[in-house]
Amino acid sequence: MKSNENFKTIIEPFRIKMVEPINMTSEEERKIILKEAHYNLFLIKAENIIVDLLTDSGTGAMSAAQWGAMMEGDESYAGCTSYYDMKAVVQDLTNMKHIYPTHQGRAAERILFGCLGSEGKIIPNNTHFDTTRANIEFTKAKAIDLVIDEGKNAGSLFPFKGNMNINKLRALFEEHKGTDNIPLCMLTITNNSGGGQPVSMGNIRDTRALCKEFQIPLFLDACRFAENSYFIKKREEEFSNKTIKEIAQEIFSYCDGFTMSAKKDAIVNMGGLLCFNDDVLSVNVKNMLILTEGFSTYGGLSGRDMAALAQGLREVVEEDYLEYRIKSTAYLGDALTKAGIPMVLPIGGHAVYIDAAAMLPHIPALEYPAQSLACELFIKGGVRGVEIGSFMFGSLDENGVEIPNTMELLRLAIPRRVYTQSHIDYVIEVLKLVNKNKDKLKGMKITKQPSLLRHFSAELSPA
């Protein structure tokens, strides 16, 4: 037994060598800052945030070993050592034949769907992440979400709420049998848009078998493959004695390729991967990569970026790291649940999702309760989360009337290795205070908005 297993406190399995100061603002200052940002937290300067839980994407802290590896990055235009080192690490983990770097996850998606998507094509997934869906729809192909019903029920405690609905997938495959309408099937691990919920190995195997039966390639959206592997180890008995790396290797053995944003589980600030086995696809991908990202041995990344990425992939499968990562996210979620704040359960890997519709029933969906909560959290404590609800995903019907989203969530995403337990304790304290006065919170209205992806730049005011 490791010495930290006797105690309840989750100690960070790292020490801090370098620090960044946090600018401590006052509530009065933050009221002005928020007003000047038109109540949109994306428009606030990061220097005015105390604890930034906007996203876990590219916001992680690199290790000394990663910074050290960066100094040894080889910046040769073609055939740099850093590419071949990274390729070896990725192949050891995934056994894929073709390994292409990209500048981030969506670039891998754009190239993959640029090659395989077009009008009339259909691409199923448990739940497409927003950039994945957008890149598919940009080719005029159709993106379909087929997550199991438990995955859509915020209160369900099912351990693998990211699972693919195998019956629905079979029905879709049957419907298009004998056509080439479905160029590939995707599976997102963990299911980011569904609350960071994992997919079980059993479900990955079933998805694989079905894809094989219908001869449809299976691709993973593997951004959080290590967090998903950790959940498999803890929740699927067969894997309790396997290492995270062994579990990850088995997961990748079932797919024909994957896209990955390295800004998540590769713990770098920028980077992505597009990897697969198909030689014919490789010719097309390579052409597109060279056209839009860069030569095939750097694909939009510096040599030093690939060196850090390779080291990040070695570190992320360490069990002590993942134990701390998953437990510290659950620590925040459990404390808030205990305080009576409703949320998506079980707690996912990278974030907690507060159910603002349940917490603030007096604010209608089209007055954006989760945005109101996000603003209050910033005013009271300088904490930044992100609304995932009708402000982000609301749409207009054919008469121009706004249709609300199905859920009104406030996501608090945890950057990797950045904040300590005392930062999280502070967030808990702020949320408890906000919860105490929740009846006084008021709705919001949009005063100005662009036609696409409005949450990034729209302006709001209290309703």
Ligand X SMILES: *Cc1c(COP(=O)(O)O)cnc(C)c1O
Q: What angle do CA 58, 62, 68 make, to 5 degrees?
A: 135
* CB of residue 128 to ligand X, shortest distance in Å: 8
* CB of residue 107 to ligand X, shortest distance in Å: 7
**Which residue's CB is nearer to ligand X, number 105 or number 389?**
105
223 binds ligand X, rule: CB under 6 A: yes
Selected from 40, 48, 132, 163, the binder of ligand X by CB under 6 A is: 132
Selected from 272, 312, 348, 369, the binder of ligand X by CB under 6 A is: 272
Scanning residues 47 to 76, which ones bind ligand X (CB under 6 A)? 57
207 binds ligand X, rule: CB under 6 A: no
Looking at 125-133, 163-171, 311-319, 324-332, which segment touches ligand X (CB under 6 A)?
125-133
- Rg for the chain, CA atoms, rounded: 22
106 binds ligand X, rule: CB under 6 A: yes
Query: Site for ligand X (CB under 6 A): how many residues?
Result: 15
263 binds ligand X, rule: CB under 6 A: yes
**Which residue's CB is nearer to ligand X, number 131 or number 197?**
131
Token code pair at residue 300: 């939009």
Question: What's the rounded Cα separation, in Å, for the pair 137 and 452?
Answer: 14
221 binds ligand X, rule: CB under 6 A: yes
Q: Are 217 and 259 in contact (CB under 8 A)?
A: no
Looking at 69-77, 81-89, 102-110, 231-239, which segment touches ligand X (CB under 6 A)?
102-110
**Which residue's CB is nearer to ligand X, number 128 or number 438?**
128
Sequence length of the chain is: 463
* CB of residue 112 to ligand X, shortest distance in Å: 11
Looking at 101-109, 244-252, 320-328, 415-423, which segment touches ligand X (CB under 6 A)?
101-109
* CB of residue 433 to ligand X, shortest distance in Å: 31
β 218-221/185-188 pair status: parallel
188 binds ligand X, rule: CB under 6 A: yes
**Which residue's CB is nearer to ligand X, number 124 or number 381?**
124
Q: Would you tell me how many other CB atoms lie within 10 Å of the CB of residue 3?
A: 7
387 binds ligand X, rule: CB under 6 A: no
With 0-12 / 13-18 / 19 or more C-beta atoms within 10 angstroms meaning exposed / middle / buried, residue 430 is buried
**Which residue's CB is nearer to ligand X, number 263 or number 384?**
263
Token code pair at residue 42: 């994306």
**Buried b / exposed e along 86-124 (16+ C-beta atoms within 10 A):** bbebbeebbebebbbbbbbbbbbbbbbbbbbbeeebbbb
* CB of residue 131 to ligand X, shortest distance in Å: 4
- Measured CA to CA in angstroms, residue 308 lies from 67, 272, 305, 312, 419 at distances of 7, 12, 5, 6, 21
What's the one-letter identity of residue 311? Answer: Q
Task: Give the residue nearest to ligand X (CB).
Answer: 105
For residue 13, what are the contacts with CB-CB under 8 A and spacing of at least 6?
Answer: 318, 320, 321, 323, 324
- For residue 148, give the 3-state DSSP assignment: coil
* CB of residue 188 to ligand X, shortest distance in Å: 5
- For residue 354, give the 3-state DSSP assignment: strand
Instruction: Name the strand (E) or helix (H) holding 98.
Output: strand 98-102
String of DSSP letters for 162-186:
T-B-HHHHHHHHHHTTTSS----EE
**Which residue's CB is nearer to ligand X, number 127 or number 405?**
127
Per-residue contact flags (x/-) with ligand X for residues 232 to 261, judged by CB under 6 A: -----------------------------x
**Which residue's CB is nearer to ligand X, number 272 or number 415?**
272
Looking at 90-98, 129-137, 318-326, 448-456, which segment touches ligand X (CB under 6 A)?
129-137
* CB of residue 459 to ligand X, shortest distance in Å: 24
Distance of CA 60 to the CA centre of its chain: 13
Chain residues that interact with ligand X, rule: CB under 6 A: 57, 104-106, 129, 131-132, 188, 192, 221, 223, 261, 263-264, 272
